[in-house]
Structure 1
Amino acid sequence: MTAALLAVGSAGHAEDSLEALRVLTERPALLLRLDAFIRRESWYSTGRPAPSLTETDPVALALAASHADGRVRERVVRRMLSRPHPEMMPFLVLRTSDWVRQVRESACAGLAVLLHENPLSATAATVRTALLVNRRRRGAFAHGQLRASLLAESGTALSGRLLTAPEPMVRRFVLDTATHRLGLRDLAVLAESDPDRQVRARAAEAAARQAVWTDQVELLRRLARSRHAEVRITALTGLMRTGSPKDVVPFLDDSSALVRALAREAARRTGTDSPAYYRAAVQAAEPQVGAIGGLAETGSRSDGPLLTPLLDNPAPQVRVHALRALRSLDAVSVPRVTVLLRDGSTAVVKEAAVTLAPSATQLPADLLWDMLADPQRPAVRRAGYRLLNRRDRLTALRAALLVSGDPHPRLAARGKTDATTQIRALAPNPWRTRPVPSLDAGPAEAAELLALAEQRRTEITEGVVQLLRDVVRLVSGSR
């Protein structure tokens, strides 16, 4: 990499050199690794002369800032400060955490002056580098100086520029530092449209706080309609604080559990019966998943008959949430849920297996073995394995050995791990103080297990197969 960078710089085109530095500083973590690499290489290359610090080669200047010789680094810092470029700022930030006091003090003083004279010289790459350097022992200066620049009277333009940076960590830094620089409308736009969840949450909190102080209920209602739950909960909390609980009650069937909890408090204040609302909502032609979740949170086992018909709903998400609600209310009908183990939706199959796990011993063994052998759907095989694994030790080990050869890599890896763990737990060891669990298998069953393990020797290794041989020998000798 260093050779490629130097090749760009040696071409003599300053703009190309600066563009190369811009590309490099877009990845500050790589910049820190490059800094350590150059220092190590230059330390061991004792016969190599110190780099010449030419004014026409920004790349060579930037790389020389990582030289092992502190006197070289100090001269580089002075040269950077004499002809400052925004592309060089991240390299200057690195030197503010330098282990040599003279280099560090020169870089810190220069950075403070540059940011005071021209705050816009702090690019997004400068902020990202400062955030990484801040984790170092002496790395707090650049972070603090950037905060001071944002908080200064001239920090509005810098805040606006950094909020357009593509890196979420830069936008979070601005919002954590200088939300007072942003207007209420700008914060609302960020809360509604930013792709980063944490940025949206920070912007929504700041916007809701300002809206509450200035009694702008309409803006809170607008944010409450956001498709992002973290924005809705903040806006609805603001509506509660402004004394508008009636605006929060319609969110009783929201998809977010936190929003539903807040809406139920608003319903309590306005005299609305939340459980009755949920019972009516789940019987609608197209029930909302939030209503199903709300009934699970407020209902009782007696509400099971209202939820069971939803297992036939054509929407997979409705069936999934109905299963979760039945499990939460301890109102599971084992025969009714068993049908869903071969549902057309992978999510429903998985949820049905989770729901039936406590009742695995009540399920027909033939059904579960058939699921484990399903030739088409890994989700069905995974569900069958989950339930077989909840039965007796012999069944669990046989299922694990079968699954270790599954064509689906993740399922095969799980079977291999489970089979290896179970066999090692069964194998006798002289150093083991706890009693070895019993396989509870007859000679014929034990021999079948060993034959299956022999077929899977590639997956579970020969050593594990030998441990199973020892277990089978003990079983055969005890009969």
Structure 2
Amino acid sequence: MAHGTESRQAAVRRLGRGLPLRRVLDVTRPKAWADLDEDVRQAVRHGAPAPSHGWLTGVHGPGWRGAWDRAADRMREEPAEARLALALCDPDGRIRQAALPYAAGRPEVLPLVAVRAADWVRPVRARALALLREALPAASHETLAVTAPVILRLGGRLRGGDAVELLDGLLRDGPPARVTALLLGCRDAATRRAALGVALDRKLYDGLGLALVAAGDHDPLVQERAASAAVAAGEPDATAPVLLGSRFGRVRAAGVTALRGAGRHAEAEPYLHDRSGRPRACARWVVRQGGGDPVALYRAACAAPDPPARAPLGLGECGTRSADAPLLRELTGHPEGPVRASAVAGLRLLDAVEPARMKALLDDPEPAVVREARRALRPWSV
């Protein structure tokens, strides 16, 4: 915690030295922008030297000195990125409001404009929303991918809903390329989820496109929703190979389910031995739907001279203790370590653990076998 606080304070100091935002914070993280806003205000309130904002118009005092400053403002150049960012985060609402016009046409600070769109000061909020209305439709995909996450993150604030509605309208009524850019090019998972929801509502993707989204995304919710929509599209010949080729278990499980819709039940059999539990469970269901017996297939695989590594685990997931525990106990002595580990896991699932056998396996040269043996012995270690 202390390290995080010090890092955030250092970011404010670097900004004060004039470093650009991309060298001060990770601009792809929406929390970083909200943290910067908070950190600048806290730094000023707790005694840090206040940034100089003499370049701003509309915040000068009365009399001849204020008139002189206002005249000088008209001769000044646009503020540097760091100075503008500090003004947009200032504790004084008048400074934040006066800084906003300088943010027009400055995409590098548009996320801070999004922060100000949830400001507690109404004039600041209104001006920031007006700027967003002008800037977002013309923003590049890169700028939108950085700004949209900030808008969505701050949408939970009391005054953040207007900016979220603005973004939602832009995605629902704007070019499909904007939705695609966020869905495929934004690092923020919450933003990709929102973009996927819009894409599904607008029917922007066919089954193959949805399968590609599911297979390539790292977020479980995006994977789940896109994969389910791909299966529901009813194009198994196109979607199943993509889904089955994913490295994510929940996506492969959707691919196995798609095989059932295509009537290709036998093709699910290899996934009885998948490395993830969900595809194995889906494969057992598809095999049964096609009239097959997954338990018999597991027993035959376990009895083979070279069984698939996860065949004993699959048998433990759907077999019976009386019929299958002897075979699994025999496989705890198999020459291949992954098979032994799988057999131990299968015995645990069948509630057929023999503590003496498991204790002997604690000296097994295969780390996976030792881990499974320890897990199996937990009920006896109390």
What's the TM-score bracket when you normalise by the shorter of the two chains? 0.7 to 0.9
One-letter amino acid of the structure 2 residue matched with residue 231 of structure 1: V
Quickly say closer, same or farther: Cα 1:304–1:162, change in 2 above 3 A.
Answer: closer
CA RMSD of aligned residues (A): 3.0
Shift of 1:79: 2.4
Quickly say closer, same or farther: Cα 1:335–1:241, change in 2 above 3 A.
Answer: same
Quickly say closer, same or farther: Cα 1:194–1:121, change in 2 above 3 A.
Answer: closer
Per the alignment, in what secondary structure is the counterpart of residue 123 of structure 1?
Answer: helix
Shift of 1:153: 3.6
8 Å contact 2:55–2:79 — kept in the other structure?
A: no
One-letter amino acid of the structure 1 residue matched with residue 55 of structure 2: S
8 Å contact 1:338–1:352 — kept in the other structure?
A: yes
8 Å contact 1:191–1:199 — kept in the other structure?
A: yes
Unaligned runs of 5+ in 2: 1-10, 57-76
Tell me which residue corresponds to 2:38. 36
Tell me which residue corresponds to 1:90. 111
* C-alpha distance after superposition, 1:259-295 (max 9, x if no partner): 2332223232322122211111111222224322221
Alignment of 1:120-199 (within 5 A): 120=141, 122-157=143-178, 159-160=180-181, 163-179=184-200, 180-199=203-222
Quickly say closer, same or farther: Cα 1:249–1:97, change in 2 above 3 A.
Answer: same
Quickly say closer, same or farther: Cα 1:80–1:323, change in 2 above 3 A.
Answer: same
Tell me which residue corresponds to 2:55. 52
* C-alpha distance after superposition, 1:415-469 (max 9, x if no partner): xxxxxxxxxxxxxxxxxxxxxxxxxxxxxxxxxxxxxxxxxxxxxxxxxxxxxxx
* C-alpha distance after superposition, 1:235-282 (max 9, x if no partner): 222333444444434433333332233222323232212221111111
TM-score by structure 1 length? Answer: 0.64
Alignment of 1:407-426 (within 5 A): none
Shift of 1:167: 4.4
Shift of 1:104: 0.7
8 Å contact 2:179–2:199 — kept in the other structure?
A: no
* C-alpha distance after superposition, 1:62-105 (max 9, x if no partner): 21011122121111112223xx2221110100001100011111
Per the alignment, in what secondary structure is the counterpart of residue 282 of structure 1?
Answer: helix
8 Å contact 1:120–1:158 — kept in the other structure?
A: no
TM-score by structure 2 length? Answer: 0.79
Quickly say closer, same or farther: Cα 1:167–1:285, change in 2 above 3 A.
Answer: farther
Mapped pair 1:223 → 2:243: yes
Quickly say closer, same or farther: Cα 1:231–1:280, change in 2 above 3 A.
Answer: same
Quickly say closer, same or farther: Cα 1:68–1:8, change in 2 above 3 A.
Answer: closer
- Inter-partner Cα distance in structure 2 for 1:219 and 1:30: 38
Greater alpha carbon shift after TM alignment, 318-327 vs 263-272: 263-272
Which structure's relative contact order is higher, taking Cα pairs within 8 Å and 6+ residues apart?
Answer: 2
**Could you say which structure has the larger radius of gyration?**
1
Shift of 1:299: 1.7
- Inter-partner Cα distance in structure 2 for 1:346 and 1:258: 24
Alignment of 1:205-216 (within 5 A): 205-210=228-233, 212=234, 215-216=235-236
Per the alignment, in what secondary structure is the counterpart of residue 275 of structure 2?
Answer: coil
Per the alignment, in what secondary structure is the counterpart of residue 303 of structure 2?
Answer: coil
- Inter-partner Cα distance in structure 1 for 2:358 and 2:49: 76
* C-alpha distance after superposition, 1:221-241 (max 9, x if no partner): 442243421111112223334
Mapped pair 1:271 → 2:291: yes
Per the alignment, in what secondary structure is the counterpart of residue 307 of structure 2?
Answer: coil
8 Å contact 1:51–1:64 — kept in the other structure?
A: no
Greater alpha carbon shift after TM alignment, 71-80 vs 347-356: 347-356
Shift of 1:138: 1.7
Per the alignment, in what secondary structure is the counterpart of residue 137 of structure 2?
Answer: helix
- Inter-partner Cα distance in structure 1 for 2:126 and 2:327: 72
Choose which of 103, 109, 114 in structure 2 pairs with 1:80: 103
Tell me which residue corresponds to 1:286. 306
Greater alpha carbon shift after TM alignment, 36-45 vs 135-144: 36-45
8 Å contact 2:236–2:258 — kept in the other structure?
A: no
Shift of 1:37: 2.5
8 Å contact 2:183–2:196 — kept in the other structure?
A: no
Per the alignment, in what secondary structure is the counterpart of residue 151 of structure 1?
Answer: helix
Tell me which residue corresponds to 1:104. 125
Shift of 1:116: 3.1
8 Å contact 1:38–1:67 — kept in the other structure?
A: yes
Alignment of 1:281-360 (within 5 A): 281-302=301-322, 303-358=324-379, 360=380
The count of residues paired between Structure 1 and Structure 2 equals 348
Per the alignment, in what secondary structure is the counterpart of residue 157 of structure 2?
Answer: coil
Shift of 1:161: 5.9
Per the alignment, in what secondary structure is the counterpart of residue 330 of structure 1?
Answer: coil
Quickly say closer, same or farther: Cα 1:51–1:125, change in 2 above 3 A.
Answer: farther
8 Å contact 1:115–1:121 — kept in the other structure?
A: no
- Inter-partner Cα distance in structure 2 for 1:43 and 1:298: 63
Quickly say closer, same or farther: Cα 1:270–1:206, change in 2 above 3 A.
Answer: closer
8 Å contact 1:90–1:125 — kept in the other structure?
A: yes
* C-alpha distance after superposition, 1:316-351 (max 9, x if no partner): 222222112112223333443332121112332232
Report % sequence identity.
33
Shift of 1:120: 4.0
Unaligned runs of 5+ in 1: 10-16, 361-386, 391-479
